[in-house]
Structure 1
Amino acid sequence: MLAVASAVLFGLALLFELLGTSIQMITSSLLVTAGLFCLALYFAGVGSRQVTYRRRAHR
């Protein structure tokens, strides 16, 4: 989920840069920074769901 969010942020940053626009405080550099932050969280394993199953030993 975080990887998708970072892709969206990078896409918006690209559009802002190509169009030369910004919305008040939201600039392309802010979106790139937010995208890198999401990627860092993704690579750190935050938000990933690991399901581990225990096998019950029948004796």
Structure 2
Amino acid sequence: MLGIAAAALFFIAFLINAAEISTNHVFSSGNIMILGLMLLALHVAGIGGARGARVRRR
């Protein structure tokens, strides 16, 4: 799920950069890309996955 959110943030950052939309410093394309990288790192680390922990039953 975090991978999808990261892809969405990368797309928004691309649109801001490609259209040369002027935004304030908080929502600049670089900051949105950093947020996307953070979400991608969390996804790769296994946080926010769709699967829960497997429990073995006897």
| TM superposition score normalised by structure 1 | 0.82
Query: How big is the shift at 1:55?
Result: 3.4
Identity of matched residues, %: 39
* Superposed CA RMSD: 1.3
Q: Count residues with an aligned counterpart.
A: 56
**Farther-moved stretch of structure 1 (27-36 vs 43-52):** 43-52
- Who is 2:27 aligned against? 26
**Distance across 2 between alignment mates of 1:22 and 1:33:** 18
The runs of at least 4 aligned residues of structure 1 exceeding 4 Å deviation read: none
- Kept after mapping to 2: 8 A contact 1:7/1:35: yes
**Structure 2: segments with no counterpart, 5+ residues:** none
| TM superposition score normalised by structure 2 | 0.83
* Higher RCO (Cα < 8 Å, 6 or more apart): 2
**Structure 1: segments with no counterpart, 5+ residues:** none
